Chains A and B, each alone.
Chain A
């Protein structure tokens, strides 16, 4: 009866004839279900990137990077000491620009999306610092509102292009460069490094996150970094451990005043040493030129200026250079000191620690008030 009915209806008969096909399709179906449940190959691909040492999915750096010390300006106009402000936190440092069509907004959006889902305790341990490589167009207002669109907690920093590039170089990143748009009618693009460098709570970066890092990867790594799981024991990396004095050192932007021939001038630094004390060994103008440390001594009613190899700063004390006292002589050789312009300087401290600070050229008339302002900022701290 059943057999007769099958032959007559066609449908059941078709099912019988197609049973191998149906079985094959069912197999495909089951495999596909499993693949979808596992969210496909992306997670597997990310897992394959897991480093054996840290367990993080970020791209391991060949050599761990010590957290750099630099001073830049926040979008609210206040100075931002990167090392000091991010001390003991995970710092995600990225160099980009707000007109970027792809990499920058994607990194920021993906990090913000993941941070938004993390518990407060972990999230609070993470700082996202975005340094613009296009300060010309990234005004404080634009940079601030652009970052706030992702997360109001993100920190936007601005500085002179030479300073930014010097910081990037110190981190082994390719400095940013302006590139014409493919369409000449459009605004220019800025080529820049595409990776986010993640400094752990121990102030050392062991991984970076290139373009292509997905939310899934961030969600895997950020809690680990926040818990300090990416950090390695101090003994294993004694050469990359941060210098305590470096970490707690604070430096105001340098003040530069031009001499009579405009190529030479004097640099005045205001530095507070950390609890271990500090020694300044050299100042180098980035972009060319020479600078030398000088001390002035008074004897028999006259002031004598002489070069010195170093300037020691006792623990916790303030070194406030001023005319007639300690200062740095500057000779740009082929460049001119133009009031209002910016010259980044690289300062070398104890243990070869180098710090890049911005220097602003002022006139003699402005000098006293600007230096007083720098000193006052330390008193306020």
Chain B
């Protein structure tokens, strides 16, 4: 039995396979958020807040992205599903999970501990924007993808890096830290446009996937084929998902910010 999805040389079948590492990871993450909130509430002397209703869908999206069949298909068979995984983990699950962190829990990060300082630095808008784009770039370099996806540890690493990159990127938008009063809605919209909607890195990677003469990733080019989809077409779909998917998610998020902002301003 394998604990995490990774590339395999066997033909794809629709026979369900268990990946216990994924279950443990998702459960552990859910527990960590719950425990963090509980400690935050205790320190603040408040009653623990119930888990935000959006954090559970966040965990479910994360589980769906990592487990069979999406996880297995994305790890070793289809670049397009690999890209879908990225969108689900970094761009959808990450902001939903952040919604689950309570204000009391966040207050723990306002101290002067090393971890608190590191988190504050990493989640400042500019480093956060750079973090996601560097994550995207590094985790889509063919040599890195082909090397890491071949092993369970490597595949796990990519998934975790995506989740961390997504958490860092969405933090300035989703997590209301009182010490960042200047990150007003207009800046948030600009942040989403630059970092996600029209990110040169994302568009660059997408362009390579779509317009390269031959498939970029050996993992997917040499994977046992599924149906009549050619590896090149699979890469084209992956590129379109990267550019269009990111833009759609950014559009939804900035629309929400805009309308809430408009409502507040009256």
CB-based A-B contact count at 8 angstroms: 112
Q: Are A36 and B140 in contact (CB under 8 A)?
A: yes
Is B176 on the interface with A (CB-CB < 8 A)?
no
Which of A39-47, A236-244, A351-359 is the contact stretch? Answer: A39-47
Closest to A15 in B: B126
Chain B residues near A114: list those with CB within 8 A. Answer: 214
Q: Are B11 and A102 in contact (CB under 8 A)?
A: yes
Query: CA A307 – CA B231 in complex, angstroms?
Result: 59
Q: Are A11 and B143 in contact (CB under 8 A)?
A: no
Is A216 on the interface with B (CB-CB < 8 A)?
yes
Closest to A17 in B: B121
Known contacts A17-B121, A35-B141, A36-B141; decide if A29 and B11 are in contact (CB<8 Å). Answer: no
Tier of interface size on chain A: 35 or more
Task: Give the contacting residue for B127; candidates A21, A40, A105, A212; CB below 8 A.
Answer: A21
Q: Are B224 and A40 in contact (CB under 8 A)?
A: no
Query: CA A109 – CA B230 in complex, angstroms?
Result: 7
Is B159 on the interface with A (CB-CB < 8 A)?
no
Q: How far is the CB of B199 from chain A (nearest CB, A)?
A: 12
Task: Give the contacting residue for A32; candidates B134, B145, B218; CB below 8 A.
Answer: B134
Chain B residues near A25: list those with CB within 8 A. Answer: 127, 130-131, 134
Q: Are A113 and B205 in contact (CB under 8 A)?
A: no
Task: Give the contacting residue for A11; candidates B10, B124, B145, B222; CB below 8 A.
Answer: B124
Tier of interface size on chain B: 35 or more
Is B179 on the interface with A (CB-CB < 8 A)?
yes
Is A22 on the interface with B (CB-CB < 8 A)?
yes
Q: Are B130 and A39 in contact (CB under 8 A)?
A: no
Render A268-304 as a binary contact track against B, CB cut-off 8 A, 1 for contact.
0000000000000000000000000000000000000
Q: Are A11 and B182 in contact (CB under 8 A)?
A: yes
Is B225 on the interface with A (CB-CB < 8 A)?
yes
Is B258 on the interface with A (CB-CB < 8 A)?
no
Query: CA A249 – CA B75 in complex, angstroms?
Result: 52
Chain B residues near A17: list those with CB within 8 A. Answer: 121
Q: Within residues 1 to 50 of chain A, which ones have a CB less than 8 A from any CB in chain B?
A: 9-11, 14-15, 17-18, 21-22, 25, 28-29, 32-33, 35-36, 39-42, 44
Query: CA A1 – CA B127 in complex, angstroms?
Result: 25
Known contacts A29-B137, A40-B216, A216-B214; decide if A11 and B180 are in contact (CB<8 Å). Answer: yes
Is B213 on the interface with A (CB-CB < 8 A)?
yes
Q: Are A18 and B134 in contact (CB under 8 A)?
A: no
Chain A residues near B224: list those with CB within 8 A. Answer: 101-102, 106
Known contacts A10-B179, A40-B144, A219-B213; decide if A106 and B222 are in contact (CB<8 Å). Answer: yes
Is A110 on the interface with B (CB-CB < 8 A)?
yes
Task: Give the contacting residue for B225; candidates A10, A39, A40, A105; CB below 8 A.
Answer: A105
Give 7 nearest A-B pairs by CB, closest first.
A40-B142, A41-B143, A101-B11, A40-B143, A215-B214, A102-B224, A32-B137
